[in-house]
Amino acid sequence: MSEEDPKASGAGAYWKENIRLLVTLMAIWFLVSFGAGILFRDFLDQFSIGGFPLGFWFAQQGSIYVFIVLIFYYAWKMRKIERHYDLDD
Amino acid sequence: MSTQMLIYIFVAVSFALYIGIAIWSRAGSTKEFYVAGGGVNPVVNGMATAADWMSAASFISMAGLIAFMGYDGSVYLMGWTGGYVMLALLLAPYLRKFGQFTVPDFIGTRYYSKLARTVAVICLIFISFTYIAGQMRGVGIVFSRFLDVQIEMGVVIGMAIVFVYAVLGGMKGITYTQVAQYCVLIFAYMVPAFFISMMITGNPIPQLGLGSMVNDGSGMYVLQKLDSSLQAMGFSAYTDGSKSMIDVFCITAALMIGTAGLPHVIVRFFTVPKASDARKSAGWALVFIALLYTTAPAVAAFARLNFNGTVNNTAYAEAPGWFKNWEKNSLIAWVDKNDDGKMEVSKGDAFKGSPEFTGGTGPEGQRLVSNQILTDNPNEVYVDKDIMVLANPEIANLPGWVIALVAAGGLAAALSTAAGLLLVISTAISHDLLKSTFKPDISDKGELLAARIAATCAIVIAGILGIYPPGWVAQVVAFAFGLAAASLFPAIFMGIFSKSMNKEGAIAGMVTGLSFTFLYIAYFKLWNPDANAADNWLLGISPEGIGVVGMVLNFVVAIAVAKVTTAPPAEIGKLVDSIRVPRGAGEAHAH
C-alpha cells in the first residue's frame, strides 16, 4: 500500500487508493460470477467438489459466498484507509 | 387442530405483530417517514433490506423456476445477489454521504437540473409500479391458496395491512416490520428445506446436501442422479441448461446492474447513520439474502428429484397425497394420453395453456381439463412451478404447523416488498415532485401529510392493478430490472465517479437508455410476442437481458454529449469531492 508519502495524503490520494481497491475487487467479482459461472463453466465442469461440477457450483453457490467476502473485505479495508488519511466518519 | 386452523392462527398472529410494530414506531417527521430518521443500525437495516428485496417471487417461485431451468436458473441466483457488491462498492456509501432522502434528490442536485430530477422520477415511478403490480397479485395468490379466500379479497386484505403500517409508520414502521417479516420468512423457508435435505441426502444442511450422495444406496450424487433421470425422460441434463452463453451472460448482468439501480433498494441505505455503515449494511443484507438464495438451488434440485421419483410412471391411483391435494387447488393436472392409468412425465407441455377444469372426473378419479391436448409429446402432467416450494412440507411429511409457517412466510415476503415499493413511490411524489419541484415552501407537516396521501393513493392503484391485472403484468417483470439498469444506474454511477459529467449528458443518457430498453422489451413482449425468439433478437440477447445494451448506450451517449456541451459548474466538482470522502456532513472537512 502507498505508505510512502503520508504528507501528500488527503482526499486525492485517498480516492486513488479507493479506485485501485475497487478495480481489484470488481475484477474478482467479475471472475467468480461471469468468469467461473458462465464463460469458463464448461472447462471448470470437468473438475468437481463433492457432487458439484465446479462451474455449476460457482454459478449456484460459490459466487454468492465470494460476493459476501468481497463486501466485508472492502468495508474493513476502507475503514483502514480512511483512518490512515484521517477521513473516517 | 386442523392445518387450516393453524394457518389462520399463524397468519393472524404475524399480522398482529406487524401492526403492533407499526404503532410502536410511527413516523413523526418527514425524516422519519422517508429514511427512518437516518439512525438504523446497519445489521438491522441489512435484515430489513433482505425482506424488502425478497418478494413473493423469491420465496414461492424461484426454487420452482430453478427446478425446471437447471443450470439456467443461475441467472437469478447470481443476478439477484451480485448487484449488492455493486451497491456496496460503487453506490451506497456515496449516496449515504450525499445524505438526502431519495434517488431523484441525488440526480437533481448532482446534475443541477429540475429536468434531470423529473426524468429520474419518471424512471423511478415506472420501475416501481411495474414491480408492485406483481407483488399485490402475489399477496392475493398466497391468500387464496392458503386461506381459501378469493384472490380479489386477498388483495384487499393485503392492501389494508400494508396501508396500516406503511402510511402510519413510513420508512421507520416499514424497517422494523421488515425485520420481523424477515425472521418469519427465513424460518419458514429453512425448516422444510432442512427436512427435505435430510430425507434425500442424510445431510440436514441443504447447501451441503446438494453436493452429497442420495441416500437411497445408489451411490450417486444428487446432481448426477438428477442429470441421468432427466436425460432418461427426454430432458436436457440439469447441470447443462438450454440458454445460449451470451444470453445467460446478459440476463445475469442486467439483473445485477438492475438490482443496484432499483430505487427501493438504494433508498434503504439512506437510513443508516454513516457512509461506512452503508457498506457494512450492504454486506449484512447479502448475508441474509444469501441464506435463502443458496438454499433455493438445493430445494430446487431435491424437489425435482423427488418429483421425478414419485410421479413419473406411477399409477394415478397410487399418487402421493400432496399430488392430489394440489390437483384440488388447480396447480397440478394429469391427462392420460395413452390410457394406461400411469402418469408419464416428459419434455413438452401436456396441453395448451394452464388447466381449465371441466368439473368432471376421469376413470381414475383425476380432474378433467377442457384444454386442447398436445399429442406431439408423451408428457401427461401439468405442474405449476410454485408447487416445488408450496408442497415441500407435505412431501417431507412435516406437521401442519410447518405448512402454516410457509403460508405466513409467503405473505411476509410479499407484504414487505410491496410496502418498500409503496414508500419510494409516495416519497417520489411528495418529496421530489411536490416539495422540490412545485411547492418548495411546503411545511414539514404538510409534506408529511402529502406523503401519507400519496402512499394511500399508491396502495389503491397497486391494489387495482393486483385485482384487475393487465395481461402484461407477468410479461414485463423484465421491465423493472432492465429499465433500472439502463436509466438510473449509469446516471448515479457517473455522478459519483466522473466530475466532468454534466446535465446534458446525464439527461440524454437516461432518455436514450430508457427508451431503447423500453421499446425493445415492449416490442417482443407486448406488440409482437410471436417474434420473441432467439433468431430475431439483437445479438441473440433476450428482452430479459437487453438492459445491459441499454446501459452501454446510456454511457456512450452521455459521455459523447458531455464532451460537446459545457462542463458542469465549479460547485458540482466540490459536491463530488465531498461525497467521495466519508467524513463530515456538508463540505468535506479534509481540505
Q: Does A10 touch chain B (CB under 8 A)?
A: yes
Contact A72 B283 (CB under 8 A): yes
**Residue, of B193 and A10, whose pLDDT is higher:** B193
| pLDDT tens string B225-266 | 888 888 888 888 888 888 888 999 999 999 999 999 999 899
What pLDDT shows up at residue B585?
Answer: 47
| pLDDT tens string B270-322 | 889 888 899 999 999 999 999 999 999 999 999 888 888 888 888 888 888 88
Stretch among B41-45, B107-111, B388-392 having the lowest mean pLDDT? B388-392
**For range A76-83, the mean pLDDT:** 92
Amino acid at A18: N
The residues facing B553 across adjacent strands are: none
What pLDDT shows up at residue B477?
Answer: 64
What pLDDT shows up at residue B546?
Answer: 92
**Closest CA–CA distance from residue B269 to any residue of chain A (Å):** 14
Q: Does A17 touch chain B (CB under 8 A)?
A: no
Q: Average pLDDT, whole number, for chain B? A: 86
What pLDDT shows up at residue B473?
Answer: 54
What pLDDT shows up at residue B476?
Answer: 61
Considering only alpha carbons, which residue of chain A is nearest residue B209? A51
Contact A51 B224 (CB under 8 A): yes
Contact A50 B84 (CB under 8 A): no
Name the 3-class secondary structure at A52. strand
Test the B interface: residue of A24, A71, A82, A87 with most B CBs within 10 Å: A71
- Which of B208, B249, B583 has its CB closest to that of A87? B583
| pTM listed for this prediction | 0.90
**For range B66-71, the mean pLDDT:** 90
What pLDDT shows up at residue A7?
Answer: 41
Q: Reply yes or no on whether the pLDDT at A3 is more than 90.
A: no
Partners of A85 on chain B (C-beta within 8 Å) are 590
Across B113-127, B387-401, B454-468, which has the greatest mean pLDDT? B113-127
Q: Reply yes or no on whether the pLDDT at B44 is more than 70.
A: yes
pLDDT band at B386 (very low <50, low <70, confident <90, very high): confident
pLDDT band at B470 (very low <50, low <70, confident <90, very high): low
What pLDDT shows up at residue B418?
Answer: 85
Q: How far apart are CA B139 and CA B56, in angstroms?
A: 7
| pLDDT tens string B499-557 | 999 999 999 999 999 999 999 988 888 788 888 887 888 888 888 899 999 999 999 99
Partners of A34 on chain B (C-beta within 8 Å) are 249, 252-253
Instruction: Give alpha helix (H) positions in B54-113.
Output: 56, 62-69, 74-86, 92-98, 103-110
Give percent of chain A with pLDDT exceeding 70. Answer: 90
What pLDDT shows up at residue B478?
Answer: 62
Specify whether the CB–CB gap between B341 and B315 falls below 8 A: yes
Specify whether the CB–CB gap between B206 and B199 falls below 8 A: no
Q: How far apart are CA A82 and CA A40, in angstroms?
A: 37
**Residue, of A8 and B371, whose pLDDT is higher:** B371
Specify whether the CB–CB gap between B319 and B332 falls below 8 A: no
Contact A64 B293 (CB under 8 A): yes
Q: Reply yes or no on whether the pLDDT at A6 is more than 70.
A: no
CATH number of B3-306+398-580: 1.20.1730.10
Partners of B207 on chain A (C-beta within 8 Å) are 61
What pLDDT shows up at residue B589?
Answer: 31
What pLDDT shows up at residue B474?
Answer: 53
Q: Where are the domains of chain A?
A: 7-84
Q: How far apart are CA B307 and CA A66, in angstroms?
A: 32
Considering only alpha carbons, which residue of chain A is nearest residue B577? A11
Considering only alpha carbons, which residue of chain B is nearest residue A50? B211
Q: Does A28 touch chain B (CB under 8 A)?
A: no
Considering only alpha carbons, which residue of chain A is nearest residue B250? A34
- Which sign does the torsion angle of CA A31, B290, B155, B381 carry? positive
**Closest CA–CA distance from residue A29 to any residue of chain B (Å):** 8
Contact A11 B78 (CB under 8 A): no
**For range B176-196, the mean pLDDT:** 91
Residue partners of A8: CB distance under 8 A and separation at least 6: none
Contact A68 B213 (CB under 8 A): no
Q: Where are the domains of chain B?
A: 3-306+398-580, 316-395
**For range B314-334, the mean pLDDT:** 84
**Strand runs labelled E in B332-410:** 332-334, 342-343, 357-361, 367-369, 381-383
Stretch among B164-168, B376-380, B382-386, B468-472 having the lowest mean pLDDT? B468-472
What pLDDT shows up at residue B347?
Answer: 85
Partners of A84 on chain B (C-beta within 8 Å) are none
What pLDDT shows up at residue B459?
Answer: 87
Q: How far is residue B191 from each of residues A60, B532, B541, measured CA to CA in Å?
A: 21, 40, 38
